[in-house]
Every structure is written in structure tokens, then in C-alpha cells.
Amino acid sequence: MVGQVGAARRELAELISPQPGTQVRSRADWLRLTAAGLIPLTAFLAFASVRMTGGSPNPLNHLGYLPILIAAYAYGWRGALAVSAAIAVLLGPLAAWLVLPGGTEQVDAWLIRAAMFGAVAAITGVLFDHARQAMLGWRTAAIEVAQRERDGMVALARGAEAKDTDTGDHIVRVQLLSEELAQAIGLDAAAAADIGWSAMLHDVGKLHVPDRILLKPGPLTADEWQVMHQHPIYGERILREGAGFEMARRIARWHHENIDGSGYPDGLKGERIPLEARIVRIADAFDAMTSVRPYKPARSVEWALAELERHGGTQFDPEIVRLLLEMVRQDRALLARLAEHRISAAA
């Protein structure tokens, strides 16, 4: 079931993409298209093998089961029965009707074989149909589990965000930007979606940070910063027991690590910092700089990009910073989508 949930997360990403279920339908279409080509090909090979080796009776008549099994797998019992009838004629009376060279069987022989073909077609077709229905049930249950996981992620993230009212839809913007960055790096849509959803929980540890610190309008004292620096550890602890939160745990713990090792809480350096944490580090910083916070006004997009570029190689992964700069400067629609969430939060 664990494997089914993992596959369901990927399928769920497809189902909530701009073209829902396209890849799932495409796989089924390719299966039927491939079967439509293999069935006549294997049927012809069975017929040719029998005729080229002296006709019937012939043990090579058993090759007729191959196209039947392909049809059962691809089309179920109805398709398999139709193919079995065609194969029975092809390997039975057709040679006699066409007066082809080689031996031919008596009517009772090919009728018995036709009955066997039909029985195998019906049995295997029904079994494949039942297997398909069972897999559909497992997939549906796994998708529901994956959706509940994501609902739980959103609920936790909203709980943390509710303590910091000035951040608005910060978690949604970080999710969007993290997913876009992951795709720009070259990850597939499903993996990028996993990073995006997990990114929503990056600050869940702030649930343990007192409001007097979290909402303080002025600079924090050294002691207050020490408390604030614990929130990645708190976040990992909150997510420690939840199955399916592995990536969210890594992001929560290490999204404040710096590429040069100067970050917190563990001082990880370079590629020892998980890729998803490096992505969220940049998405979080960009949104924080361009948003109003209790202790500062919002900065312009260009100011934020320049700041990220200036600290590339020290605080931030320079390659991911480069990709963000390209994305934002070339795709103005991305900024519009981020702004929509900023506007909706203000409303």
C-alpha cells in the first residue's frame, strides 16, 4: 500500500494539473493501440507457422493463445472472446475454404480447439477485468490517502500562518514559486508538485514560537533570535510521526541552511543541504523580501532579485538563484500569479 500511495501522489499531481488525467489516459490509449497492432501480428505468425510446417494437425496451433491473451489483457473478456473466435477460424476451416496446401483437420477437431480458445479467452479476460477493478480500487484509495495527506499539510501550514497574520498567503506563494523552480531545475511535474506541497509546511515550527517574538514590530534581541532559530527543529519534530511527510520534514529542518555552511540549525554546507530545502530557501527569501512584515516594508522585485544574486554562493545556491532570475524576468505571468495571492490575502 505504501508503494500505491507513492504512485497516487504522482497521479494526484497529474489529476490537479492544467490537463487533468492526460498522462493516465495516454498510457491506457497506448496500451490499446499497441495491443491492436500485436493481435493481428501474432495471429498471422501463428497461422503462417502452422501452414509453413505442414498444416494441421500441428502443435504450433497453440500459438493461437498468444493473441487471445493479449486481447484479454488489453480489452477484457469481450475483446478476448472476439479474438478467440477469429483465431479459431484462422487456424481451423480457413485453410480448407481457401484450398491452401498442407493438412487440414476434421470439423470436430477445430470445433474442440475453438471451444478451448473461447474458454481460455473468457477465463483470462474475466481475471484481467477483476484485476483491473482491484487495481482501480487500490489506486482510488491511495489517491484519497494522498489527498488527505495534502489536506493535512494545508491545515498545519494554515495553523502556523495564522500566528503571523501579516504574511497573508505566504505559504501559497512559496508553494507556487518552489514548484516552478523545481520544474526549471529539470524535475518532472509530479516531483515538483511534491516539493511545492511540502514547502507549505516550511514554517510549521513557528507554532512553538511565542507570539510576542513572532509578531514583534521591532528588531529581535539576541535571546529572541535564539528562540526563533529553533523553529526549524520544532517543525521537524511536529512532522516526525506523520507517514508521507518525509520531504516536508527535510524542508522544515533545513530551509534556513546557507550554501556556505553559515546557516542554522545544523550548519549544513553545499549539496549536503537537500535540493528541496535549497529551493524553498530561495522561494521563502524572495517572498519574505517582497512582502510586508511587522518589522519591515515590502521591497521591490528587482531589489529582491539583486539581493538574492548578491548572496548567491554564500546564503543561496547560485545556480537556483540564476534560474529564479531568468524565470521572473522572462515570465511576467509568474509575478502576476504571485500578486493574485497577495491581493486575495489583503482582501
**Catalytically annotated residues:** 206
| Backbone torsions φ then ψ of 2, nearest 5 degrees | -60, -45
In eight-state DSSP terms, residue 312 is B
The amino acid sitting at 17 is S
Q: What are phi and psi of 236, to 5 degrees?
A: -60, -40
User: What are the b/e assignments for 143-153, b being 16+ CB within 10 Å?
Assistant: bebbeebbeeb
Q: Which of 132, 144, 191, 130 is nearest to 1 (CA)?
A: 144
State whether residue 185 is helix, strand or coil. helix
Which of left, alpha, beta for 264 (phi over 0: left; psi -120 to 50: alpha)? beta
Q: Which three cell numbers stand for residue 2?
A: 505504501
End-to-end CA distance of the chain: 42
The number of angstroms, rounded, from the C-alpha of 320 to the middle of its chain's C-alpha atoms is 22
d(CA 191, CA 169): 23
